[in-house]
Homo-oligomer: A and B are copies of this chain.
Amino acid sequence: MTMHDRHDSNRDWSPGHALQRLVFFSDAVFAIAITLLIIEVHPPRLPWGSPDHDYWAALAALFPNAVAFFVSFFVIGAFWGGHHRAFDCARHWSPRVVMPNLFLLMAIAAMPFFTAFIANNPGMRVPGALYCFWLLLTGLLNVRLQRVVTAPPVVAEDIPAEHIAMLRRRGIAVMLGAATALIVAIVVPWLAQVALISIGFWRRGLDRWAQRKAKSAAA
């Protein structure tokens, strides 16, 4: 058997990877954006033999960069998690997924810019508000993609309706948290990134509201 026969007989590529390929391409973009964040944190180079204290001082000056790296890492990580959960519900390929997915990836790819902008200018209103605004936009594009992925013709038939409702609530909680942080950023710039923890409160609030609604519907 020659290599050519081998390729022709056993090695045919089973098609059906349209969705998988879109997902892996997206994973690569998420992974690159999340790892590029560190590039904007410039490692200090001190005169050789500087006392230990100077190194600590140089590192302390990078504190806003470290915070921004950390926050953006988990923000992108959370969007990746949401993308993962949404496409976990998908089964059928549709070309309609391509553009909303590209728009979300565009917002994610731009995150290192907004992260470095806020880190370079800590506690300033415009960079802080812009960071939160960009997150709000990313959250919007995320919700838009989610709706396409968790609806026919893309969604798998055996996904429980309450699971999809939960995913959507999570997407909306991110947007509400980003909007909250945007308002906080305008009023108290230093708290721009801190205010993102409101995402957790919004999520719990929406979940409780959904439970109450479900109970009253059952009663």
Is A93 touching B15 in the complex (CB atoms < 8 A)? no
Cβ–Cβ contact B36 & A35, under 8 A = yes
Is the interface on chain A under 10, 10 to 19, 20 to 34, or 35 or more residues? 35 or more
Contact A16/B27 with A34-B105, A52-B126, A59-B126 known, Cβ cut-off 8 Å: no
Whole-angstrom CA separation of A120 from B127 in the bound complex: 22
* CB <8 Å contact, A98 and B73: no
Interface-centre pick from A20, A21, A30, A158 (highest chain B CB count, 10 A): A21
The proximity string for A residues 30-43 relative to B, scoring 1 for CB distances below 8 Å and 0 otherwise, is 11111111111101
Number of copies of chain A assembled together: 4
A53-B138 Cα distance, complex, nearest whole Å: 25
Kindly state the separation between the CA atoms of A13 and B97 in the bound complex, as whole angstroms.
14
For A19, list chain B residues within 8 Å (CB). Answer: 13
Chain B residue, CB-CB nearest to A23? B21
- On whether the beta carbons of B110 and A69 are closer than 8 Å, the reply is yes
A74-82, A173-181, A204-212: which lies at the B interface? A74-82
Give which listed residue, B44, B73, B126, contacts A109 with CB less than 8 A: B73
Chain B residues, Cβ within 8 Å of A14: 16
Cβ–Cβ contact B110 & A55, under 8 A: no
Cβ–Cβ < 8 Å partners of A163 in chain B:
2-3
Q: Residues of A at under 8 Å CB distance from B?
A: 1-3, 6-8, 10-25, 27-41, 43-46, 48-50, 52, 55-56, 59, 69-70, 73-74, 77, 80-81, 84, 87-88, 90-94, 98, 102, 105-106, 109-110, 112-114, 116-117, 120-122, 124-127, 130, 153, 156, 158-160, 163
What are 28 residue pairs bridging A and B, where the CB atoms are less than 8 Å apart in the complex? A1-B158, A1-B160, A7-B92, A7-B94, A8-B153, A11-B92, A12-B91, A12-B93, A15-B90, A17-B20, A21-B27, A22-B84, A24-B27, A28-B31, A34-B109, A35-B36, A38-B112, A43-B116, A43-B117, A44-B117, A50-B121, A50-B124, A52-B126, A55-B127, A69-B110, A73-B102, A73-B109, A81-B98
